[in-house]
Amino acid sequence: MELAIRSYHPSDLVSIYNICLLTGNSGKDASHLFNDPNLLGHFYAAPYAVLEPGLCFILTVDKKPCGYILGTQNSENFAVNSEKHWFPVLRPQYPLDKKYKSAMESRIVQLIHEGYKPKPGLLNYPAHLHIDILPVAQRKGMGRKMIETFTGKLRSLNVPALHLEVGKQNKNAVLFYQKAGFEIIHEYEFSIAFGMKLEN
């Protein structure tokens, strides 16, 4: 089994949607919670790959995509850009008053209607990221390497700091971020915000 990290290619978008769904339930498969398999990726993954492809990296197993790390170098700009170029066309496809398969599916529809909103308490950490790896490639040191690839790219862009948010239920990911050099910067009711300062 050969694992490698490479830059994003537009043909990866379908895999990104799949990986997002297969890891979307606190790190486990979320397929059973969605009628629409693309919905989760519409919010948490695809807009980053499309709007900031230079900050998207793909993990491959024997050349096939099995993970990604993606995000934005500036969360406030991402809020503006995603409002201009991403969310408006999706909203009419997912009416708020429709019945969805699960509370989670309804919640993602709601998020798509709200759009991405940067949290004021995290603005000193302007970049943010999402990372997801399929079980076949987990616990092999690749997540750590993907964080290093992502932060290396941010350093080259002179970005001073980054953050991410993780659900408290996703205990594996919480342990991972602590080991990968992040510190807790905020605790919310259901999630934790981790941050990392970058020396340029």
Ligand X SMILES: CC(C)(COP(=O)(O)OP(=O)(O)OC[C@H]1O[C@@H](n2cnc3c(N)ncnc32)[C@H](O)[C@@H]1OP(=O)(O)O)[C@@H](O)C(=O)NCCC(=O)NCCS
- Find residue 68's DSSP bridge partners: 58, 132
Among 12, 52, 105, 132, binds ligand X (CB under 6 A): 132
Which of the residues 139 through 178 are near ligand X (CB under 6 A)? 139-144, 166, 170, 172-173, 175-176
Three-state secondary-structure class, residue 163:
strand
Do 15 and 65 meet the contact criterion of CB atoms below 8 Å apart?
Answer: yes
Q: Based on CB atoms, which residue is closest to ligand X, 84 or 179?
A: 179
Among 74, 138, 160, 161, binds ligand X (CB under 6 A): 138
> 161-167 and 127-133: which strand pairing?
parallel
> 183-187 and 57-61: which strand pairing?
unpaired
Smallest gap from Cβ 93 to ligand X, in A, equals 25
Q: Which residues of 169-200 are buried (b: 16+ CB within 10 A; e: fewer)?
A: ebeebbebbeebebeebeeeeeebbbbbebee
Which of the residues 2 through 61 are near ligand X (CB under 6 A)? 23, 27
- Point out the residue whose Cβ comes nearest to ligand X: 143
Among 13, 133, 162, 196, binds ligand X (CB under 6 A): 133
Give me the residues that bind ligand X (CB under 6 A), please.
Answer: 23, 27, 131-133, 138-144, 166, 170, 172-173, 175-176, 179-180
